[in-house]
């Protein structure tokens, strides 16, 4: 199975995205999850996780 199919799940005939989408770039760009933040590789937008 390729890597891209691990990002989606089909449940009740609906597609569910498993990763956060970037609010600046839109639904087609996923954010990387790090220990303390989420980061967009395309535009650099960062969301810090709360402790």
Instruction: Convert the pLDDT of each residue in 16-47 to its tens digit.
Output: 888 999 999 998 899 999 999 999 999 999 99
The domain total for the chain is 1
The answer as to whether 10 is a domain residue is: no
Is residue 42 in a domain? yes
Looking at the domain assignment, is residue 27 inside a domain?
yes
The reply to whether 33 falls in a domain is yes
In a domain, 49, yes or no: yes
Give the pLDDT of residue 45: 97
Element (H, E) at 36: none
Residue 50 in any domain: the answer is yes
Torsion, CA 47, CA 31, CA 39, CA 26, rounded to 10: -70
Whether 12 is in a domain gets the answer no
CB 42 within 8 A of CB 29: yes
Give the Cα separation of 45 and 13 in Å (integer).
31
Largest CA-CA distance found in the chain, in angstroms, rounded: 36
Single pTM value for the model: 0.71
Structural domain boundaries, residue 28: 21-51
């Amino acid at each position: 199975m390729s890597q891209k199919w691990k990002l989606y799940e089909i449940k009740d005939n609906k597609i569910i995205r498993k990763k956060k989408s970037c609010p600046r770039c839109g639904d087609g760009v996923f954010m990387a999850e790090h220990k303390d933040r989420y980061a967009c590789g395309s535009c650099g937008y960062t969301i810090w996780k709360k402790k």
